[in-house]
Amino acid sequence: MNQPAQSVDAHSIMFITQRPELIMVEGQGSWLTDNQGKRYLDFLQGWAVNCLGHGNLGMIEALNAQAKKLINPSPAFYNEPMIRLANLLTANSCFHKVFFANSGAEANEGAIKLARKWGQLNKSGAFEIITFDHSFHGRTIATMSASGKPGWDTMFAPQVAGFPKADLNDLDSVKKQVTDKTVAVMIEPVQGEGGVIPASAEFMQGLRQFTKENNILLIVDEVQAGCGRTGTLFAYQHYGIEPDIMTLGKGIGGGVPLSALMATDAVACFVPGDQGGTYNGNPLMTAVGISVIEQLLAPGFLDAVKAKGQLLRSELLALSEEFSLEGERGEGLLRALILSKDVGGKLVELARDRSPEGLLINSPRPNLLRFMPALNVSDDEIRQMCNMLRELLKQVA
């Protein structure tokens, strides 16, 4: 029924990644539709971005209402949605101050600047930020330098200095990197791009205690793991700790470009001139952010995310058993299936190309499949995804 997609004339698009020969035109909930009318069950959701799925009515209404009212008063003035969203975020976290930006990388740049500023004021100019092997913090020059992605140290050399690397879940490896220039440790509570590797409770608690005792800031990069993804509003809340700085992105906008840098009063030391940005706190995006956070905080929503995470986990474990794979891991609705062979890329293609309905999944490592569905995905859709996957696993067995 579905015709093969016609070749796409994208010669004006700068080539930065291999894209399939199809154009996505519509979305509803957990489903995307391409220009040939083929439907796809979407377990990517823009890389854990569309936390409420496609076509969420609350978001659409917020966007429309704000667009009619005021799109851009200028960042030199307060606007209503900016203030309301900031209050919502501080009321539901351990942080007191928020700076809004447009992307995860930009929020992390802000976190790096804030930590360095704090080091200038409080720690004789300490500026080193310990980060982790296989971590991902963004694609600006500084956040690439902070990232522990193999090969990124030389890609656009020279790097920004001052990001020594430690090993996740190994406190001794952190201690080894500490010098009198250390100002902070920056960590993803669950390494997302690195392959969905959660930091253990023992490690996070030990890290918080160690950093506190040594006057070192703890920065959590919750761009991927925050905003309900792991079943709590913020991932640090699983560990019973309070970081000094947190960054949010992806889910906070539910699909629109919005991110946030948050800090405690003790650490929020920017003065005028230190930080800014043309679109910071723009009302169009922050109005959508309010809708997103209010929906995440609605009674029962986060409990349902936990329950769906458990369902996805048990379905993936059943597949692992059936096909003698290496199990699964993750937190909430950020999960990975560990394959026994390097067939992740092949499975991603087979899943997308299957008919009549395609399936969108991702393979951050050759032996791994990652799942980042909408947080309001249905139980049926989770089972449907696993049934599609079962078929595909038979094909590559």
Ligand X SMILES: *Cc1c(COP(=O)(O)O)cnc(C)c1O
Binding residues (CB under 6 A) for ligand X: these are 103-105, 108, 136-138, 188, 192-193, 221, 223-224, 249-250
Pick 108 or 362: Cβ nearer ligand X: 108
**Least distance to ligand X, CB of residue 324, Å:** 31
Question: How far apart (Å, rounded) are the C-alpha atoms in residues 12 and 217?
Answer: 44
Pick 93 or 320: Cβ nearer ligand X: 93
Pick 221 or 244: Cβ nearer ligand X: 221
Query: Of 81, 59, 64, whose CA–CA distance to 282 is shortest?
Result: 81
CA contacts within 13 A on the Cβ side of 10: 14
Q: Hey, how many other C-beta atoms are within 10 angstroms of the C-beta on 91?
A: 8
**Least distance to ligand X, CB of residue 226, Å:** 9
- Which residues partner with 337 through β-bridges? 328, 369
Count H helices and E strands in the chain, helices first.
Answer: 12, 16
**Least distance to ligand X, CB of residue 49, Å:** 8
**Least distance to ligand X, CB of residue 47, Å:** 6
CA contacts within 13 A on the Cβ side of 388: 25
**Least distance to ligand X, CB of residue 213, Å:** 26
Query: CA separation (Å) from 336 to 40, 325, 331?
Result: 19, 12, 9
Pick 49 or 126: Cβ nearer ligand X: 49
**Least distance to ligand X, CB of residue 69, Å:** 26
Query: CA separation (Å) from 260 to 85, 101, 166, 203, 217?
Result: 10, 6, 25, 25, 18
* Alpha-helical segments (H) within the chain: 45-48, 57-69, 80-91, 104-122, 141-146, 152-155, 171-177, 201-213, 283-297, 301-322, 344-353, 379-396
Question: How far apart (Å, rounded) are the C-alpha atoms in residues 385 and 319?
Answer: 11
**Least distance to ligand X, CB of residue 136, Å:** 5
Pick 224 or 320: Cβ nearer ligand X: 224
Question: How far apart (Å, rounded) are the C-alpha atoms in residues 3 and 371?
Answer: 28
| 52 DSSP 8-state letter | T
Question: How far apart (Å, rounded) are the C-alpha atoms in residues 363 and 372?
Answer: 11
Query: What are the backbone dihedrals phi and psi of residue 333, each rounded to the nearest 5 degrees, phi first?
Result: -105, 35
**Least distance to ligand X, CB of residue 184, Å:** 15
Pick 101 or 241: Cβ nearer ligand X: 101
- Which residues partner with 191 through β-bridges? 197
Pick 261 or 267: Cβ nearer ligand X: 261
How far does CA 201 lie from the centroid of its chain?
A: 20
Residue closest to ligand X when measured from CB atoms: 104
Pick 30 or 103: Cβ nearer ligand X: 103
How far does CA 16 lie from the centroid of its chain?
A: 21
Question: How far apart (Å, rounded) are the C-alpha atoms in residues 35 and 32?
Answer: 10
Question: How far apart (Å, rounded) are the C-alpha atoms in residues 135 and 195?
Answer: 9
**Least distance to ligand X, CB of residue 259, Å:** 6
**Least distance to ligand X, CB of residue 397, Å:** 31
Pick 105 or 216: Cβ nearer ligand X: 105
Pick 104 or 148: Cβ nearer ligand X: 104
Q: Hey, how many other C-beta atoms are within 10 angstroms of the C-beta on 287?
A: 27
